[in-house]
Amino acid sequence: MTRRTERLNEQFREEISDLVLRHMKDPRIGGLVTITEVDISPDLTRAKVFVSVLGSDDEKKSTLRALGTASGFLQRELRRRLTIRRMPELAFLADESMEHGQRILTLLNEAPKDEA
């Protein structure tokens, strides 16, 4: 990954987070929504946007559906905010790493303590 792509990934993550938090009023977006990572392809045609939603499974599904529906709006807004020649197509994917980490911590806390 080039330095430019890394900068774009971080800039997209910050801007999408701001747009979702402050400008989207979709009632399907539920729970605590965090844009954890953006991975833009080297040719700038696609961007995978990883989203973590703390809430029920229904909230996660509806939030991802709402973000997918709003991708056109988000791309237009990003085009206004950023000076980039080619705007990548946004694809929203669930990021389960936080839930996975929480599950591991729970298992570690429940494990029997070794008394040596």
CATH number at residue 28: 3.30.300.20
Indicate whether 38 belongs to any domain.
yes
The amino acid at 34:
T
Indicate whether 82 belongs to any domain.
yes
- Read off the pLDDT band of 116 (50, 70, 90): low
Indicate whether 100 belongs to any domain.
yes
- Read off the pLDDT band of 115 (50, 70, 90): low
Residue range(s) defining the domain that contains residue 32: 3-110
The total domain count for the chain is 1
Residue of 99 and 81 predicted with greater confidence: 81
Task: Provide the 3-class DSSP secondary structure of residue 45.
Answer: coil
Indicate whether 116 belongs to any domain.
no
Indicate whether 50 belongs to any domain.
yes
pTM of the model: 0.83
pLDDT digits (tens, 9 = 90+) for 14-66: 999 999 999 998 888 887 899 999 999 999 999 999 999 888 889 999 999 99
Indicate whether 115 belongs to any domain.
no
